Amino acid sequence: MKSEVKNYNPIARSVHWISAVVVIGMFAVGLWMVDLSYYSEWYRTAPHWHKSIGILLAGLTIFRFIWKYVTASPKVEGSAIEKAGAKLVHLAMYIALAVLFISGYLISTEDGRGIDVFNWFTVPGAGALFENQADTAGLIHFYAAWALILMAGAHALAALKHHFINKDNTLRKMIGASK
Ligand code: HEM
Ligand code: HEM
C-alpha cells in the first residue's frame, strides 16, 4: 500500500534525471542529423544512435510508468492551480514521449526494415500501415519533439521557481534531499 513519502525513491529519481538528459540530447541530435549531407561521416551513425537510444528510452519510460504506479510518490506542492498545472504537464510530457516513440517507429519502418538497436537486438518493422507514412509521422515527430522540449523547459523553470522563490521541497524531493 502507498504510504506518505517525502522524496521520490532512488529509482524514480535516477530514471527522471537520466530521461531528462537523454531527451535533451535526442532533441539536439534529431534537429542536427536531419540536415547532414550524404558525405558526412555521421550520415548513417547519427540516425542509428538516435533510433537505438530512442528504443531504449521507450523501454525505460514503460518501466518508469509502471514503477510510478507500484511505488509511492511524494505529494506535489503549491496552490491548487499549480498542483493541477504540474500534474497536467507531467501527464502531457508522458503523452508527448509516447507520440515520439510511436511516430519515430513509423518513420523508421515504413520500408519494412526493423530498428536495429546498437547491433544488439532488432525491433521488427511493420512496413507501411498508411499512405505517406514516413512524411506524416515525421511531421508529428517534429511537433511532438518541440512540444516536449517547451513543456520540459516550463517544467524546469517551475521547479526552480519553487526552489528559489517558494523555498519548498519540490526540487529537493527529486534529488532525495527533502527537509
Ligand atoms: C523510438 C524512439 C525514436 C525513434 C525511432 C526516432 C526516429 C527518428 C527519425 C527516423 C528521425 C528522422 C526524421 C526525418 O528524416 O525526417 C527523427 C528525427 C527527430 N527526432 Fe526522433 N526518434 C525517436 C525518439 C525521439 C525523442 C525521444 C526525441 C526527443 C525530443 C526525438 C527528437 C527528434 C527530432 C527533434 C528530430 C528532427 C525532426 C525534424 O527536424 O524533422 N526523437 N527521429
Ligand atoms: C526533458 C526533460 C524532463 C522531463 C521529460 C521531465 C518529466 C517529469 C515528469 C513526468 C515528472 C513527474 C514525476 C514522475 O513521473 O516521475 C517530473 C517531476 C519533476 N521534475 Fe522533471 N522532467 C524533465 C526535466 C526536469 C528538469 C530539467 C528539472 C529541474 C530543473 C526537473 C524537475 C522536476 C521536479 C522537481 C519534479 C518533481 C515535481 C513534483 O513532484 O512536484 N525536471 N518530471
Please give the share of the chain, as a percent, with pLDDT higher than 70: 98
Q: Which residues line ligand 1 (CB under 6 A)?
A: 23, 26-27, 30-31, 34, 47, 50-51, 54-55, 57-58, 100-101, 104-105, 107-108, 115, 138, 141-142, 145, 148
Q: Would you call 35 exposed, middle or buried from its count of C-beta atoms within 10 A (0-12, 13-18, 19+)?
A: exposed
- Contacting residues for 179 by C-beta, under 8 A, at least 6 apart: 169, 172
Count CA atoms within 13 Å of residue 6 on its CB side. Answer: 8
Single pTM value for the model: 0.94
> Residue 2 pLDDT > 60, yes or no?
no
**Ligand 1 center–CA 107 separation, angstroms:** 9
> Residue 64 pLDDT > 90, yes or no?
yes
**Ligand 1 center–CA 102 separation, angstroms:** 10
What average pLDDT does the chain have? 96
**What is the structure's pLDDT at 4?**
85
